């Protein structure tokens, strides 16, 4: 298929997938924050990107006017959020231009975790105890009201596990609040204004148990594709995602419950057309929705789906938004995984074992820190040190690659 696409916010995984679309492919017009483009000249060029323009889109409506004017010139076939902060602008442009988008209910709920919690509780989903909070005193009250049981503090309107903090006791609240509020956006954040003034927060009951994501494609209100991704999360008190596997290998009843819950979620959000990346925890046999994004999944999950199922998720996303008859019948015939390095903070002195790992497993991607790099604690998706993407004919081959990746070590000094 061929399409002219407006992408709000740079996302290398999405651009790579759009570049892999077949005959005609995609022609991408990329919109980035002005101060980010100025700070990183040339960083957002890509073979699939035909033109780059700038406009504020993070907690700012400027991008809607700019995007619609650009659409009048070019005639976009679809508008895609490249970043979480681009979801609202992309939806507003698409709606005003008469293009496919998920719908207002889904956009409101998937860009504010409090709205999401309230909507799903009303729809009858299992829901942990929760409340909005504006400071450490309210978090302490929430902990006390729950009998001192563990809670999670999280921003309502950020992504990538930024600022998501476990609190095991009331005595941890002040430090947890300061660390959550102080979580840094990392590279490619606006430098012309402080976006932190827009962040709001939520406290909720901590759920133990395994975590999964469910990716869904929806066309005309019908779910046309479902995938379950198995996740591994790092050490508390933070929740960095350290491994993803596609397809998840789970007992039949749990797989059925996750699939059915994903479909119920799409219905509860009144999704018309689009891509959903939803996250779930299984606690004491119950499947709890954690959050949902209306964008391309991060951490190479879409690539894992492509490796396992043989479908380009970006292309199918465009088909759904464009109203092109879509019936994704692919089944996973291979296994794939993204695995992240677990490193000690400090300055990198050496990296060991990478050549042996690459020669043995031929990874699709191997990203490692360099000598002299300074590494912090892995707290979120922005602070992990490196990763690999591997696949294999069966689960055993991927198991072996995951196991051997632990022999790739990063030597650091304080």
Half-sphere exposure of 219 (CA within 13 A, CB side): 17
pLDDT for the residue numbered 370: 96
pLDDT computed for residue 188 by the predictor: 84
Dihedrals φ, ψ of 117, to 5°?
-60, -45
Given the DSSP bridges, would you call strands 78-81 and 3-8 parallel, antiparallel or unpaired? parallel
Element (H, E) at 261: helix 252-268
pLDDT of amino acid 325: 66
* Predicted local confidence at residue 117, as pLDDT: 98
Architecture in CATH for domain 101-124+207-333 = 2-Layer Sandwich (3.30)
**SS3 (DSSP) at 395:** helix
How many CA atoms, within 13 angstroms, populate the side-chain half-sphere of residue 71? 23
Block residue for tokens 């689009």: 274
The pLDDT score that the predictor gives to residue 187 is: 80
Q: Is it true that 3-99 and 129-206 share their CATH fold? A: no
The dotted CATH code for 129-206 is 3.30.1490.20
- CB-based contacts of 368: which residues, under 8 Å, 6+ apart? 341, 351, 354, 385, 386, 408, 410
Question: What's the CATH number for 335-413?
Answer: 3.90.1170.60
SS3 52: strand
**What is each CA distance from 326 to 224, 277, 294, 318, in whole angstroms?**
7, 19, 19, 10
Contact in structure between 35 and 192 (CB atoms under 8 Å): yes
What is the per-residue pLDDT for 47?
A: 94
SS3 of 298, please?
coil
CATH, domain 3-99, list 3.20.19.10, 1.20.1050.10, 3.40.50.20, 3.40.50.970: 3.40.50.20
Q: CB-side exposure of 255: number of CA atoms within 13 Å?
A: 12
Three-state SS for 95?
helix
For residues 276 and 109, the answer to whether their CB atoms sit within 8 Å is no
Q: Which two tokens stand for residue 254?
A: 């749990």
Burial class (CB in 10 A: 0-12, 13-18, 19+), 225: buried
One DSSP character per residue, 119-139 reads HHHHTT-----EEEESSHHHH
Query: Which among 349, 412, 339 is positioned nearest to 377, based on CA atoms?
Result: 412
Residue 185: the pLDDT is 85
pLDDT per residue rounded down to tens, the chain (414 residues) = 789 999 999 999 999 999 999 777 899 999 999 999 999 999 999 999 999 999 999 999 999 999 999 999 999 999 999 999 999 999 999 999 999 999 999 999 999 999 999 999 999 999 999 999 999 999 999 999 999 999 999 999 998 899 999 999 999 999 999 999 999 888 888 999 999 999 999 999 999 999 999 999 999 999 999 999 999 999 999 999 999 999 999 999 999 999 999 999 999 999 999 999 999 999 999 999 999 999 999 999 999 999 999 999 999 999 999 988 667 888 999 999 999 999 999 999 999 999 999 999 999 999 999 999 999 999 998 889 999 999 999 999 999 999 999 999 999 998
pLDDT for the residue numbered 184: 87
Residue spans of the domains in the chain: they are 3-99, 101-124+207-333, 129-206, 335-413
């Amino acid at each position: 298929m061929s399409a002219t696409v407006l992408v709000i916010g740079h996302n290398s995984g999405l651009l790579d997938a759009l570049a892999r679309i077949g005959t005609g492919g995609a022609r991408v017009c990329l919109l980035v924050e002005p101060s980010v483009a100025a700070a990183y000249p040339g960083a957002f060029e890509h073979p699939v990107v035909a033109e780059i323009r700038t406009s504020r889109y993070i907690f700012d409506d400027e991008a809607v006017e700019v995007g619609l004017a650009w659409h009048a010139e070019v005639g976009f076939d679809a508008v895609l959020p490249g970043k979480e902060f681009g979801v609202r602008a992309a939806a507003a442009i698409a709606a005003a231009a008469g293009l496919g988008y998920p719908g207002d209910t889904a956009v409101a709920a998937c860009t504010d975790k409090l709205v999401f919690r309230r909507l799903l509780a009303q729809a009858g989903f299992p829901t942990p105890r929760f409340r909005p909070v504006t400071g450490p005193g309210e978090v302490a009250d929430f902990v006390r009201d729950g009998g001192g049981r563990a809670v999670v503090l999280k921003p309502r309107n950020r992504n990538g596990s930024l600022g998501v903090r476990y609190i095991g006791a009331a005595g941890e609240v002040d430090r947890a609040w300061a660390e959550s509020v102080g979580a840094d956006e990392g590279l490619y954040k606006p430098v012309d204004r402080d976006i932190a003034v827009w962040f709001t927060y939520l406290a909720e009951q901590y759920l133990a148990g395994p975590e999964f994501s469910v990716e869904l494609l929806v066309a005309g209100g019908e779910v046309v594709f479902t995938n379950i991704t198995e996740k591994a999360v790092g050490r508390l008190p933070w929740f960095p995602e350290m491994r993803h596997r596609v397809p998840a290998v789970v007992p039949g009843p749990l797989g059925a419950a996750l699939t059915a819950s994903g479909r119920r979620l799409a219905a509860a959000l009144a999704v018309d057309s689009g891509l959903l990346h939803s996250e779930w925890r299984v606690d004491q046999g119950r499947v709890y929705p954690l959050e949902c994004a209306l964008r391309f999944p991060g951490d190479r999950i879409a690539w894992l789906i492509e490796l396992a199922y043989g479908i380009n998720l970006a292309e199918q996303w465009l088909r759904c938004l464009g109203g092109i008859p879509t019936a994704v019948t692919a089944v996973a015939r291979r296994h794939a995984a993204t695995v992240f390095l677990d490193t000690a903070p400090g300055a990198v002195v050496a990296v060991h074992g990478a050549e042996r790992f690459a020669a043995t497993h031929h990874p699709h991607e191997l990203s490692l820190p360099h000598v002299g790099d300074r590494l912090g604690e892995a707290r979120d998706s922005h602070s992990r040190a490196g990763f690999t993407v591997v696949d294999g004919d069966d689960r055993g081959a991927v198991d072996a690659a995951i196991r051997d990746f632990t022999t790739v070590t990063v030597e650091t000094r304080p």
